[in-house]
């Protein structure tokens, strides 16, 4: 880990690891990153009775920003310049991609199981691919379209809890609908990131986006202070905020950017699905949530669709 972080701090970015050892180190960093990220789902679900969602979002963004600031000290002047020039671009990116996405996810965890939330949120890369096809001109093959259909069929199975009557009666759980909203927000965020060009290395740009997400979540946090009776200060709040802000916030983001710097964005992004696996495992053992047949069916459909969409390239098909 220290060797990898040194590469990132020095601003050294590699499309792929130079040696098998570096590649394995990056994969280990990313696996640990997604374990910490899965822990956020567990912490938020556990703290739901005590700590309102936007309070967790606000402090996660604030302390993650503060945690990462020392790692980008050499870029402060550059960051200030880009923030001044692109404030009205960076603010909506942070608001949509981090603040609103997490606000929807954390609220969803008050209404749905961590297992459901983790599984349904796992389809955001597929939604991002669809939006890229619509807004950026990326092309989908017919085989990829079939994969997309499989993915969303899996989501439907999970949110309907395997009951067709839920679909016909449109009787969906509020939490599951909020996760779908989070998927949409994060997918639009990925398209915006691709579309907008801000001349900054990845980690300094992330710090600016985290800062903008802190600003965007502040009004919701203020509303909770005034209106939510769960606003108290006890060990539950402190424990939940401490986890989502540092191990599940700043450290997780640092590990992810380090993994990308060594392994390359394309390969690193594939490891995202470990988050879903870790969420299911942790929710089962730590929260006592139950796995059902419809979870297995949904996971199978989503996984098959993801494999099809990600492995089949437009140039590989005659369609």
* Residue 287 near residue 42 (C-beta atoms within 8 A): yes
CA distance 151 to 313: 17
Measured between alpha carbons, how far is residue 13 from residues 197, 260, 262, 285 in Å?
18, 8, 6, 38
* Residue 173, pLDDT score: 81
CA distance 68 to 116: 31
3-state class (DSSP) for residue 170: coil
Say what the pTM is. 0.86
For the chain, first and last CA: distance in Å?
44
C-alpha atoms less than 13 angstroms from C-alpha of 283 in its C-beta half-sphere: 26
* Residue 82 near residue 199 (C-beta atoms within 8 A): yes
* Residue 18, pLDDT score: 57
**Nearest Cα residue to 23 out of 14, 12, 32:** 14
Residue located via tokens 């997400």: 213
3-state class (DSSP) for residue 138: coil
* Residue 170, pLDDT score: 62
* Residue 237, pLDDT score: 86
Residues 6+ apart with CB under 8 A from 24: none
Burial of 21 (0-12, 13-18, 19+ CB in 10 A): exposed
Which residues does the chain have with pLDDT short of 50?
1-17, 316-319
CA 311 to chain centroid: 22
Q: What is the four-CA torsion angle of 166, 309, 139, 269, rounded to 10 degrees?
A: 110
CA distance 176 to 146: 23
């Amino acid at each position: 880990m220290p060797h990898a972080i040194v590469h990132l701090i020095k601003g050294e970015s590699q499309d792929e690891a130079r040696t098998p050892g570096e590649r394995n180190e990056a994969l280990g960093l990313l696996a640990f990153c997604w374990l910490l990220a899965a822990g956020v789902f567990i912490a938020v679900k556990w703290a739901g009775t005590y700590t309102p969602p936007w309070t967790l979002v606000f402090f996660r963004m604030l302390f993650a920003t503060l945690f990462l600031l020392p790692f980008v000290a050499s870029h402060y002047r550059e960051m200030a310049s880009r923030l001044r020039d692109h404030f009205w671009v960076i603010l909506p990116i942070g608001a949509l991609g981090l603040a609103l996405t997490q606000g929807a996810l954390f609220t969803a965890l008050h209404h749905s199981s961590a297992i459901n939330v983790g599984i349904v949120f796992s389809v955001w890369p597929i939604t991002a691919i669809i939006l890229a096809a619509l807004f950026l001109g990326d092309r989908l093959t017919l085989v990829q379209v079939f994969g997309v259909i499989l993915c969303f069929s899996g989501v439907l199975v999970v949110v309907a809890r395997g009951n067709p009557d839920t679909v016909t009666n449109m009787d969906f759980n509020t939490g599951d609908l909020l996760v779908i909203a989070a998927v949409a927000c994060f997918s639009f965020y990925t398209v915006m990131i691709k579309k907008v060009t801000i001349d900054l290395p990845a980690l300094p740009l992330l710090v600016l986006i985290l800062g903008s997400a802190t600003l965007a979540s502040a009004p919701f946090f203020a509303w909770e202070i005034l209106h939510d009776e769960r606003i108290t200060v006890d060990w539950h709040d402190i424990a939940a905020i401490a986890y989502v802000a540092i191990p599940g916030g700043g450290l997780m983001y640092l590990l992810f950017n380090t993994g990308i710097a060594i392994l390359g964005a394309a390969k690193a992004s594939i490891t995202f699905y470990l988050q879903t696996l870790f969420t299911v495992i942790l929710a089962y053992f730590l929260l006592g949530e139950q796995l059902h047949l419809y979870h297995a069916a949904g996971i199978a459909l989503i996984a098959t669709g993801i494999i099809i969409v990600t492995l089949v390239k437009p140039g590989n098909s005659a369609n």
